[in-house]
Each structure stands twice: as structure tokens, then as C-alpha cells.
Amino acid sequence: MLLAIDIGNTNITLGVYDEEVLLFTGRLATDNKTTADQYAIDLKNLLEIHNCDHRDVEDCIIASVVPTVGTAIRQAVSFLFDIVPLELGPGVKTGLNIKIDNPAQLGADLVAGAVGAINDYKLPCIVIDMGTATTLSVIDENATYLGGVIAAGVRLTLKALTENTAALPSVSIHAPKNVIGTNTVDCMQSGLVFGTAAMLDGLIDEISACLPATPTVIATGGLSHEIIPYSRHDIIYNENLLLEGLREIYERNK
């Protein structure tokens, strides 16, 4: 079995594959204070919950945007499974031609998402990843990563509102009944959900105007399913896009 791990700023998402079949996915909290030993325990427990023996894990691939946590997870994997994981970074074969000013600056999560999209969807495409940040990655018809957009994530926006105002409460991230809110909670939810959807619509329009053909738009990330139903565009939701990309990169390098 292959263990694919995507370490984000808020969550660690992992999936276990038997060849091309995704057996299960799970999430752990990203915490700089968690030790390698604790992560090893968490990984072992998560596998057992899903009736998988940790001794059946034969290899692992990791993508991380949090270096300290990436180090702890790497040590945990090495200890628990007695393997050296493949870490997504310079020198790893991805099949992705990166055409930005400094290719080394491209986050491992964006690389994994782009590779997942290239292998499963028609190009050109736009990959939207809604996590701590909301990112849009643009891949042309030749599987070249052209660049993208980074904006504050929905939860980050909500945190900024509640922590920097005296009267605005924390709210759940769900669409209200009407875009015109009639109370504080509805007004905030309208801004978070309809406002983010409108931002995505505008960015998709602007990006599409720069491409020779209409792009396929794919969304992933924890909050995508709350936002994309309110977009004017046809957006495909793929919860496991990054894990699929990691599996494909592993296959290219094994």
C-alpha cells in the first residue's frame, strides 16, 4: 500500500492506496508542537480505525508547505513503517513544466494539484484550492504551469473580521437565504460565501480571457463544496485531487 500525505497550514490530509484504488482518507491537525512520536501514534491509530495494518504500508510520498511539521511527519513515517518517504521537491519528476519566475517557489501542494488535474481533466484548466489560502493555478493546453492567484482563505477572512472588530461574531460558513442579509450573521455569511463565489467568478473570467480555449475549472479543498454551488461557472469538485496528484508523482518516480 502507498501512503500519500499532504501537509497544509491547517490540516494534514492523507490517503492510503492499493495500486490505483483509494482505500480511505483521513485528516490530522497541523501543529508545530506535535512531536514525531505523537504523529507516529496518530498515523498508526488512523490506519487501525480503517482496518489497515501499518505493516502493509510499503511506501510513502509527502507534500508539505510547513517545513517543521514536514520534518516531524517524515521522522514518524520512517520510524513507523521503516521506509524513507519520497518528498515532493526539487529533483522529483512531476511531468509538470513550470513557467513562473522562480519555479522553486511553487508550493508542493500546488504542484500536486496541478499534476492531479493534468492527468484527469481536459486542458487548459484552472485549479482552485480553498484552504487556509484560496489559490488558483493556471495550466495551459501543453501541461505548462503558467502561474496563478493567491487570496485569503474563507476561514482566514472570517478570523480577520472577528478578531479585528468589536461587534462581529464568529459564524458558520454557510450561504444565507438571500444575498441581502437582514441581520449581522446573514450579512457576514453573504460576504463570505457569495462574496468568495463572486471573486472566483471574476478571476475565472479574467484568466479565461488570457487563454486560447475555455478552461476546465476544478476545485478542491475543505470549503470548496460550500462555495462553488454559488458560482456562475461550471466547476468540478474533486475532494482528493492533491492525493491523486501525489499518487501519480509517486508512480513517475518509483
- Which residues are known catalytic residues? 109
Measured at the alpha carbon of residue 49, what is the angle toward residues 63 and 60, in degrees to the nearest 5?
25
- Give CA–CA dist 192/145, Å, rounded: 29
Q: Which of 70, 68, 77, 93 is nearest to 6 (CA)?
A: 70
Measured at the alpha carbon of residue 29, what is the angle toward residues 159 and 225, in degrees to the nearest 5?
60
Question: Residue type for 185, please?
Answer: V
Residues 6+ apart with CB under 8 A from 82: none
Question: Residue type for 231, please?
Answer: S
The DSSP line for 109-170 is HHHHHHHHHHHHSPSSEEEEEESSEEEEEEE-TTSEEEEEEEEE-HHHHHHHHHHS-SSPPP
Q: Tell me the sheet residues that pair with 33.
A: none
- Give CA–CA dist 12/120, Å, rounded: 23
Question: Residue type for 78, please?
Answer: S
